[in-house]
Each structure stands twice: as structure tokens, then as C-alpha cells.
Structure 1
């Protein structure tokens, strides 16, 4: 499994990314300093981009013509996507969708956040 995690800071706020990530895992609804996300709009956008994939349930998609599947876990302030055997180009599509909503990727495997504040 490969995790992709997204959130957006409130204007002028910049926190420790790894601490934010750990808080999302432990207490997902208690994060000060993060902007509320249009979760349903984001999920609708994912459904649209991945319309050829089988939608297993409200938050899981499976590629019936190739490899990969992913599950999206949302809170009002974050989106966590668990990718299972998913190709890089598919993960890039997910990252691009989130960039449309100005939510940069945090990659906990590295760990690194890809936003304008990163050097």
C-alpha cells in the first residue's frame, strides 16, 4: 500500500507536516490551522476522472482493465488515499485532482510535502 495525504493550511499558518499527518491518523477531526475542504466536490471529481474504473463503494475504486485500486478516507480537513498496486500515472492523476483544489501532496513514505513552501 502507498499513502497519499492532502490538506490545506489556513492563510498564514504553516505547521510541522509529519505532526499534521500523525494527527490525521489518530484524531482526524481535531486539527487546528487546516482549511475545511469541499469533500463531496472532490469525491465527485475523482468519480468523474475515474469513471471507467469500478466504484466498489462510496470511497473505493478498482481498475477492472488493469492494475490497481484505491480507497479514499476523508475528514472535513483532509483526504487520505490508500493506493493498492496502483501505477504511478494513476497516483499522478489523483495528485493533479487535489492540486485543482489547491491541496498539495504529503507523501508520508519519504516524508515530504510538495507545496510552495518546500525548497
Structure 2
């Protein structure tokens, strides 16, 4: 499994990304993060991956190739667990979240890919 995690800071707020990641595992909301339009994001993912089999409300499986992913949400974050998913598919998920101005935090590295990481 490969985790992709997304959240958006409130304007002027910069927190330790690793600490935010760890806090999101146990806290439903975190001070300093924006609320996300979770249902709109899920609808967008469903639209982009309409050719994939929708296993349930938050899981998709590629019937024409390899890979599957499951989306876990909090009011302030989107976590996508990828299973055997190709890089181009993960890039597509990152692009969708970029539309909502939510940069990728890759806990495997660990690194957050946004303009504030420079």
C-alpha cells in the first residue's frame, strides 16, 4: 500500500507536516487546517475514475488494468490508500487534489509538495 495524504492550511498557518500527519490518525479536526469540501472532492474523484469499478462509496478498482484505491476522509483531510496503483494514476489523484489547492504530503518520504516546502 502507498499512502497519499492531502490537507490545506489556513492562511498564514504553517505547521510541522509530520506532526499533522500523525495527529490526523487520531484527531478528527486539527487547529490550523481548513475544512475541505469532502463530498465535492469524492464526486470529482468518481467523475475522473468513472471507467473504474466503484467497489463502494470510497473505493475504486481498475478492471481494465492494475490497481485499486480507497479514500478515507476527515472534515479537513483526504487520505488515499493505493494498492498496486500505477504512478500515472497516483499523479491523476494528486492533480484532482491540486484543483482544490490541497498539496500532497507523502508520508513514505516524508515530504509535502507545496510552495511552502522550499
> Same-fold call, TM > 0.5?
yes
Partner Cα separation in structure 2 for residue 25 and residue 42 of structure 1: 20
Q: TM (normalized to structure 1)? A: 0.98
Partner Cα separation in structure 2 for residue 64 and residue 26 of structure 1: 33
Q: What do the CA deviations read for 1:29-62 (whole angstroms, capped 9, x no partner)?
A: 1310000000000000000000000000000000
* 2:114 aligned residue: 115
Partner Cα separation in structure 2 for residue 105 and residue 68 of structure 1: 19
5+ residue gaps in structure 1? none
Partner Cα separation in structure 1 for residue 115 and residue 99 of structure 2: 14
Aligned length: 118
Q: Does 1:102 align with 2:101?
A: yes
Partner Cα separation in structure 2 for residue 25 and residue 82 of structure 1: 13
Q: TM (normalized to structure 2)? A: 0.99
Q: Tell me, what secondary structure is at the counterpart of 2:63?
A: coil
Q: How does 1:1-119 map to 2 (within 5 A)?
A: 1-27=1-27, 29-119=28-118
Partner Cα separation in structure 2 for residue 5 and residue 93 of structure 1: 14
RMSD value over aligned CA atoms? 0.5
5+ residue gaps in structure 2? none
Q: Post-superposition, which runs of at least 4 consecutive aligned residues in structure 1 deviate over 3 A?
A: none
